[in-house]
Amino acid sequence: MPSADGARERKDACKMKAKRVFLIVLDSFGIGEAPDAADWGDEGSDTLASTVRAGAVLPEMGALGLGEIDGVACLPHAESPAGAYARLTEASRGKDTTTGHWEMMGVVSEHPMPTYPDGFPQEIIGELERRTGRGVLCNKPYSGTAVIEDYGEEHLRTGALIVYTSADSVLQIAAHEEKIPVEELYRICGIAREIMQGEHAVGRVIARPFVGEPGCFTRTANRHDFSLTPPHDTVMNLLQKAGLDVVAVGKISDIFAGSGVTEKILTQGNTDGLAKTTAQLERDFNGFCFVNLVDFDMLYGHRNDPAGYAAALMEFDRWLPGAKALLGPDDVLMITADHGCDPGTVSTDHSREYVPLLVYGDAIRPQNLGTRPTFADIGQTVLELLGVGAGGLPGESLAKRLTENAI
């Protein structure tokens, strides 16, 4: 637990103590290739630019400073941005959801989590079959929508599990809800999570239920992620230990295996996620609300749908004025992303990109915070804004700069 002296020093350094901090992750909203993009085969990736070419018009995020961020050249400039803004570089060796979110909260991953471009080894598949009593279909990287079309009918006939992966560190299991009930699929994924440890410790095991008939299968909203537990305390744990609320909206709790979460709120897509975030803005609490909006990545980035991605961004942009109006004088709103997933490239996988950081609130001084070396600066800033000690975690707090001479 942070020491009283440490908390006091952080509080003295910051010009305000926030009541609530809202951090919203636009899942996969990259803003241009990272310096090491070539190492990941992602040269030229720019999720933001692809969506702008597809028609995205983002006046509200633009007014906060999105178009002023280092390297962003595809948006109109704002004469007097209302927010602070920065470009964040991922320090971890990865470009997946777990790695990105963990780094924001103070866990920098020095080694990439394992991936399986040729499918999972037989010792993994054999153990899964032995412990579940079911056969396995597919066992290769696959599109989540295509895999149920190609293997769904055989799954219905045999009851075998559709096991597949992607370029990310994931093991995914798809099953028809009428053949394998959702709770049973969750139990099976829990077994897979137990198997995928040590050298095979993938970031996530994901349950992917679906419904329908052959030729017309659709995935349902009953997806559930079984993540690794972070290797040490995160920003969320420090906030919880300090007696503050840590509200996880969307898949945040799953990403952290529930660690450091005081309240879990599940969502069914972006529209529902925005509605539930509005409900938190309307509610009185003290602490941190951490939100993930998954549709950008799941529905549009991975499916190479720039127009759909653009429409989803504009939905979020239209939501912003109402959200800002609900902020109290001691509240702070932060908007960022966890990686890229450029819908305009040939690849359907995540892309190694910079991500934006937009910060807004009555006590926030509009400014360019430059290009930051790690997503972990977010977590340190959240801690200091809420008056909690750094806890030895990586990153540099921007709280003093954000609040200095703001009022």
Domains of the chain: 4-107+230-403 (3.40.720.10), 122-226 (3.30.70.1250)
Structure tokens at 303: 């499916």
Cβ of 328: how many Cβ atoms within 10 Å?
13
All residues at 6 or more sequence positions from 346 whose CB lies less than 8 Å from its CB, including other chains: none
Residue pLDDT, tens place only, 230-282: 999 999 999 999 999 999 999 999 999 999 999 999 999 999 999 999 999 99
Mean pLDDT per 10-residue section of the chain, whose length is 407 residues: 42 76 98 97 97 98 98 95 98 94 96 93 98 98 94 98 92 98 98 96 95 96 91 97 98 95 96 98 98 96 96 98 98 98 94 98 98 98 96 97 78
Which residue spans within 305-394 are E strands per DSSP?
331-336, 355-360, 367-372
Main-chain phi, psi angles of 353, to 5 degrees:
-135, 160
Distance in angstroms between the alpha carbons of the first and the last residue of the chain: 32
- For tokens 């009428």, the residue is 178
Residue 221 DSSP code = S
CA-CA-CA-CA torsion sign (384, 389, 393, 396) = positive
Give the integer Cα–Cα distance in Å for 132 and 260: 31
Residue pLDDT, tens place only, 303-362: 999 999 999 999 999 999 999 999 999 999 999 999 999 999 999 889 999 999 999 999
Amino acid identity for residue 406 in this structure:
A
Task: Of 376, 378, 208, give the one whose Cα is nearest residue 298.
Answer: 208
In this predicted structure, what is the pLDDT of residue 8?
Answer: 43
Predicted TM-score (pTM) above 0.85: yes
Give the integer Cα–Cα distance in Å for 340 and 254: 20
* Coil vs helix vs strand at 8: helix
Give the integer Cα–Cα distance in Å for 70 and 281: 30
In this predicted structure, what is the pLDDT of residue 36?
Answer: 97
In this predicted structure, what is the pLDDT of residue 13?
Answer: 60
In this predicted structure, what is the pLDDT of residue 316?
Answer: 98
* Coil vs helix vs strand at 74: coil
* Coil vs helix vs strand at 192: helix
Question: Pseudo-torsion of CA 225, 143, 57, 78, nearest 10°?
Answer: 60
